[in-house]
Structures are given as structure tokens and as C-alpha cells.
């Protein structure tokens, strides 16, 4: 019986080889990523040991290292998976036609709201941003930049890029508190975030 297998990399005896992943293996990768996300959320990236991830995923350290060459690769793959989920959640906000006409507060809400619910349902995502580089950051920043360019086509490109980078950093900065806060306060903080963004983006550039 012929079957189709996803080709992917395995890391056995210190060597990187190409293997035909079985269904079991693909499931294992998902389990590792799930465990890593939960563990990162609890203890942060640096303080999370790979042995703890393996234990949480119900496997031995050796099994874990058949699917990832090192700890960093786990975080990278996790960032990628989260970024994909985020892109999907954001599709409605970004892939629309009439972004140019929409009032700024509405536009901000359309971008911020899915972002908030994404981070609320994935409380570990913020440590992949906070403690490690910017893989999630840049993914969003690029799309925000494109959106801003569409709205104010006469602004110089550097200004647009800077504005979107700043806006993304503001969102990232407040997201931690938003996720951590209990519900009555959380809504208030989301409201403040939107106020900050609209206030920032509304202003004429020459102040």
C-alpha cells in the first residue's frame, strides 16, 4: 500500500537527515510545540528547560531531539506556527478592500481586537516576542506598514515604516498587561490601547 509522506528533517546521531515523517511523528511535533508554548508561558524562554518541554509532552529528551536540533529551533517553529494562526485571524482585518475610507478608530479596532483575542487565547505568545528577537513583530509590522501606506500615500516611505514600527511596539508593550488583567480592567486597557493608537496615528506629522 502506497502512502504519501511529508518529507522533513530529522536529527539523529548529531546528523541532520531527511526522513519520511509518519503520522505519529507529525503528531509528536505538534505535542512538542504545544508543550513548549505552555512551558514558555509559565516560566519564560530562558528558564524553560528542554527536558521540561519533553516531560510535559510526555516523551523523553532523546525523542524531542529527533524533531528539533536545539532549543532555539523549537522556539522558531513555535513562532512560525503562531504567526500563521495570527495571519489567519487577521485576514479579515487586512484583506479588505475599503481600508482607505474607514474611519481610523474603526480601523484600529479591526486590527487590535483579533490581536487581543489571539494573545488572550495564547498566553505564551508574548514571551516569544518579549524575550526573543522579533519574528512575530516584523510579520505584523509589515502588514501594518502596507496598510498605512494605502491610507496616506503621500507620506515618505521612511516615515510610514517608522510609524508602523512604533505602533506595533506600542501594541506589544501594552499587550502583556492586557493579557494579565482580569476582565473589567482588561477592557479598559484595550480601550486605552486604541486611544493611544488613534491619538498617535491621527496627528499631522509635523508637530
Q: Which three cell numbers stand for residue 42?
A: 509559565
Give Cα separations from 103 to 10, 107, 149, 167 (angstroms): 50, 6, 15, 17
Could you list the beta-strand ranges (E) of 22-170: none
CB of 191 to a second copy, least distance (A): 8
Calpha distance 53→82 (Å, rounded): 17
Dihedral pair phi/psi, residue 129, rounded to 5°: -90, -50
The mark string for 145-184 relative to a second copy (x by CB under 8 A, - otherwise) is: -----------------xx-xx--xx-xxx--x-------
Q: Which of residues 15-34 bind DNA (CB under 7 A)?
A: 17, 19-26, 28
**Which residues lie closer than 8 Å to 43 by C-beta, 6 or more apart?**
52
Site map for a second copy, 2-41, x if CB under 8 A? ----------------------------------------
Binding map of DNA across residues 72-101, x = CB under 7 A, - = no contact: x-----------------------------
Question: Reduced to 3 states, what is the DSSP secondary structure of residue 47?
Answer: coil
Sequence-ordered list of residues with C-beta below 8 angstroms from that of 92, at least 6 positions apart, any chain: 110, 114
Q: Are 201 and 104 in contact (CB under 8 A)?
A: yes
Q: How far is the CB of 126 from DNA (least distance, A)?
A: 19
Q: Which stretch binds DNA (CB under 7 A): 57-65, 130-138, 171-179, 180-188?
A: 57-65
Using CB under 8 A as the criterion, which residues of the chain lie in contact with a second copy when the complex forms?
Answer: 46-47, 105, 130-131, 162-163, 165-166, 169-170, 172-174, 177, 188-189, 192-196, 198-203, 207
Using CB under 7 A as the criterion, which residues of the chain lie in contact with DNA when the complex forms?
Answer: 1-3, 5, 10-14, 17, 19-26, 28, 47-52, 58-63, 65-66, 69-72
Amino acid at each position: 500500500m502506497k502512502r504519501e509522506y511529508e518529507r522533513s528533517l530529522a536529527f539523529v546521531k548529531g546528523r541532520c537527515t531527511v526522513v519520511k515523517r509518519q503520522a505519529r511523528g507529525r503528531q509528536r511535533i505538534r505535542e512538542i510545540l504545544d508543550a513548549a508554548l505552555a512551558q514558555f508561558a509559565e516560566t519564560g524562554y530562558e528558564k524553560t528547560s528542554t527536558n521540561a518541554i519533553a516531560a510535559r509532552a510526555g516523551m523523553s529528551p532523546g525523542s524531542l531531539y529527533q524533531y528539533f536540533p536545539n532549543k532555539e529551533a523549537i522556539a522558531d517553529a513555535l513562532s512560525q506556527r503562531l504567526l500563521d494562526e495570527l495571519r489567519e485571524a487577521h485576514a479579515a482585518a487586512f484583506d479588505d478592500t475599503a481600508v482607505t475610507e474607514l474611519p481610523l478608530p474603526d480601523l484600529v479596532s479591526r486590527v487590535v481586537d483579533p490581536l487581543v483575542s489571539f494573545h488572550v487565547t495564547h498566553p505564551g505568545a508574548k514571551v516569544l516576542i518579549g524575550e526573543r528577537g522579533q519574528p512575530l513583530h516584523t510579520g505584523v509590522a509589515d502588514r501594518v506598514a502596507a496598510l498605512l501606506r494605502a491610507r496616506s500615500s503621500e507620506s515618505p516611505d521612511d516615515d510610514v515604516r517608522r510609524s508602523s514600527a512604533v505602533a506595533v511596539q506600542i501594541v506589544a508593550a501594552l499587550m502583556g498587561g492586557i493579557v494579565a488583567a482580569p476582565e473589567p480592567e482588561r477592557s479598559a486597557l484595550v480601550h486605552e490601547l486604541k486611544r493611544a493608537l488613534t491619538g498617535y496615528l491621527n496627528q499631522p506629522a509635523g508637530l
